[in-house]
Structure 1
Amino acid sequence: MSEVSTNQPLGTPAWIDLGVPDLDRAKAFYGALFGWECEERSAASGPYTLCLLRGRRVAALRPVSVSAADVEGESWWHVHVATDDCDGTAEQIAVSGGRVLAPPADVADLGRTAVVADPTGARFSLWQGRALPGCELVNEPCTLVRNDLACPDPGPARRFYAAVFDFTLDGNDDLPDVDFTFLRRPDGHEIGGIFGDPAATASRWQTVFEVADTDELVARALAAGGGTGTPEDAPYGRMAPIVDPFGTAFSVITRPSAAG
C-alpha cells in the first residue's frame, strides 16, 4: 500500500527533508516537478514547509542560509529512518562506530529526531513518529520510492547497519558487475541498499522518487530551472538523474508497474 498511517518498523526510511537557501524558489520548483502543495509550520529550530500530495505529507523543505552544495560541493535529500526509541537508537549508533551530530530533540508535535552519521561519514536522521509517522504516501508517482547509500568503502557501512538495525545483507544477481548489497529488515522487507563506488567523493544516502513518465519528468525539470541527465533503462525501470536549482541531486524512476 502507498498510504502510511502508522510508524514504520526500525530502520525503514520514513521521512525526507531538504535545506534550501531560497524557500520560495524551492516550493515553485518541486511544485512544478511533482505537483506538491505546501503547508507552513514552525518549530523551535525555525520555520519549515511540509510538502503535500493529495493532502498527504510526503516531504519537508527547510530554509538555510546557504545550500549544502555551496558548503560541501554536493547536496542531497536528507533521509530519516524509523525508530520507536530515538534516544536509545542514537546511543546504539554511538557505540557501534557512528556519531551523534545533533542529539535527540522534539519537532513540535510531529516526532522526535536526531542527526547522526555512520562510520563512513554518511549523514542521516532518526525519526520517532508522533503526530507524523513519516511520509504518508510512498511508492507511487511523485513520492519517495527508495534510498540507497553510495560510498567508496562499503565494508564498514554494511557492518554498521547490520549491527544497529539488524539488517540482513544480500547480494544482487541482477547487477553482477556492480558492488551492491541489499539491506533487508528482519521481516525480509528490502529498505534499500549499499553501493560500493571507489570513485565516490563522499558517502551519501541517495533519494529516488517514483514518477509516471521519466522522460516527461525530465522535460518538466528543465522547464522549471533544474538540470538532468539522459533517461536510461535499468533492470528495475527507466531512470534519470535530476539536479534542482540549488544543486541538490536525486533520481527519478518509472517502474514497469507504475508505467503499466
Structure 2
Amino acid sequence: MPDVTTPYAPGTPCWVDLAAPDQKAAIDFYAGLLGWTGEIGPPETGGYAVCQLNGKPVAGIMAAVAMGDQPAPPTVWTTYLASADAEASQRAVESAGGTVLMPVMDVMSLGRMFIAADPTGAVFGVWQPVDFPGAGVVNETGALIWNELNTTDRSAASAFYRAAFGIESTTMEGIEHYYGLQVDGRHVGGMQPMPEQLPADTPSHWLTYFAVADADAAVAKVTASGGSAIMEPFDMIAGRIAMVTDPQGAVFALIHPKAME
C-alpha cells in the first residue's frame, strides 16, 4: 500500500535525502519532475526541506554547505536504513567493518541519525525514529520505490549488512547477478555488482529509484530541465528503467514498474 501506516522494520530503507548546492533549484526541479511540494525549512532545522507528495513526507532536500572545517557534502541522494537504536546500530556498523562518517546525533525531537560507509565504500544513513518515522508514502508514482546497492565487492557487502542490520541477500529469479535484500523475509531493496555500463572508477553506492508514470517522458523532462541521461530508458523484468542526473549532478533512477501498468 502506498501510504505507510506501520513502523519500518529495522534494516529497511525508510528515507532518502539530497544535499544540493542550490537547494531551492533542487526543490523546484523535483517538484516539476515528480509532483512534490516543498519549501526551505526554518533556521532551527538548518533549512532542511521535507518534501511532500499528496500531503505525505516523501524525501528531504538540504543545502550542501560546509560545516566548520569540513568540506561541503557531495551532491548525492542518501538512503537511510531504519534502526530501533542508533547507538547500537553504530556499534554494529563498526564491529562489522564499516566506517562511521558522522556519529549519532539527535535531530530535535524527530529522531536520531548517523552516516556511515560500508566496507566497500558505499555511504548510507541510519535513522532511529522518534516523532518522525520516515517516508509517509512509497511505491506510487512520484514516490520512492526501490533502493539499490551497487557494489565493487558483493560478498563483503552481503556479509556487512547481514552482520550490522540483519539484512539477508538472496538471488532474484529472472535477473542474472542481481540479489534481493530482505528484512524478515520481505524484499526491501536490491544489490548487484557494479554495472558494466558505469565508468570503471565508479565507487560503491546506494541508488535511489523513484516511480514515474512514463519513463521516457520523465527522462525527456529531466534533460529539458538541464539534467542528463546516464542510461536511456530500457525494459527489464521489473519495468522500464532509466538512470539520470539532475541539473546539479545528483544521480538517481526512474522506473515505470510493471505493477503500475
TM-score, normalised relative to structure 2: 0.90
Following superposition, the deviation at residue 98 of structure 1 comes to: 0.7
1:14-73 deviations in whole A, cap 9, x for unaligned? 00001000111111111110111114434767221111111111001110138xxxx89x
Q: 1:31 to 1:45 in 2, by over 3 A?
A: closer
Q: Give 1:52-71 correspondences, 5 Å limit.
A: 52-65=52-65
Decide whether the 8 Å contact of 1:49 with 1:60 is kept in 2: yes
**What does the per-residue CA deviation read over 1:166-207, in whole Å, with 9 as the maximum and x for residues that have no partner?**
22221123123xx3221111x211111221127452110011
Contact 2:179/2:192 (<8 A) preserved: yes
Partner of 1:76: 76
TM alignment of 1:169-208, pairs within 5 A:
169-176=169-176, 179-185=177-183, 187-197=184-194, 199=200, 201-208=202-209
CA distance in 1, matches of 2:52, 2:160: 33
Q: Secondary structure at the match of 1:38?
A: coil
Bigger CA drift: 143-152 or 36-45? 36-45
Where has structure 1 moved over 6 Å in runs of 4 or more?
none
- In structure 2, distance between residues paired with 1:82 and 1:42: 25
DSSP 3-state at the match of 1:116? strand
Amino acid at match of 1:28: D
Structure 1 segments unaligned to the other structure (5+ residues): none
Gaps of 5+ in 2: none
Aligned partner of 1:155 in structure 2 is: 155
Tell me whether 208-217 or 219-228 shows the greater mean CA deviation.
Answer: 219-228
Letter in 2 for 1:84: A
Aligned match of 1:243 in 228, 242, 245? 245
Residues 42/93 of structure 1: CA separation in 2 closer, same or farther (3 Å cut): farther
Greater CA drift, 85-94 or 2-11: 2-11
Return the alpha-carbon distance in structure 1 between the equivalents of residues 161 and 42 of structure 2: 32
Read off the aligned partner of 1:237 and give its amino acid letter.
G
Amino acid at match of 1:182: G
Deviation string, structure 1 residues 209-240 (Cα, Å, up to 9, x no partner)? 11111112112212222212421111110011
2:111 match: 111
The count of residues paired between Structure 1 and Structure 2 equals 251
Q: Distance in 1 between matches of 2:82 and 2:181?
A: 15
Query: What is the identity percentage for the equivalent residue pairs of Structure 1 and Structure 2?
Result: 36
Letter matched to residue 145 of structure 2: V
Kept in 1, the 8 Å contact 2:158–2:169? The answer is: yes
Is the CA contact 2:227–2:247 (under 8 Å) kept in the aligned structure 1? yes
Query: C-alpha displacement at 1:75, in angstroms?
Result: 4.5
In 1, distance between residues paired with 2:15 and 2:154?
A: 23
RMSD value, Cα: 2.0
1:256 & 1:194 partners in 2: Cα distance? 20
